[in-house]
Amino acid sequence: MDKIFLHGMKAETLIGVYEWERQQPQTLLIDLDIGLPPRDGSDDIADTVHYAEVCAAVRESLRSQDFFLLETLAEHIATLVLDSFCAAWVKVRLVKPGILSGVRETGVEIERAKAV
């Protein structure tokens, strides 16, 4: 299956369980792998997933909401991509860099597909 990807996208949102985490938005690193619909050789952007629009939609959505868990945020992003774009499936990887002492990355990864 064909896919597009956005790796290392930075976005800010209010996230965390602890009060000290919820004092100000945190920068997250987001990797998205998005399954493309069949294109039959089309060279029209309307026949694919426009990755700049995906990026803008994710960032805007995160700016206007807050979350306690990365798992919930990953589900939110997966649903946004599947419902708003012609994606067949999506893999979402979220990283909260530097949140734990001595740990470079903490995060979650999920994969979801459109219901058939």
Active site residue 96: yes
Question: What single string gives the DSSP state of each residue in the chain?
Answer: --EEEEEEEEEEEEE-SSGGGGSS-EEEEEEEEEEPPP-TT---GGGS--HHHHHHHHHHHHHT-EES-HHHHHHHHHHHHHHHS--SEEEEEEEEET-STT-SEEEEEEEEE---
Starting at the edge strand found earlier in the chain, the sheet holding 105-113 runs 66-67, 3-15, 26-35, 89-97, 105-113
Out of 3, 10, 91, 96, which one is annotated catalytic?
Answer: 96
Give catalytic residues, as residue numbers.
Answer: 96
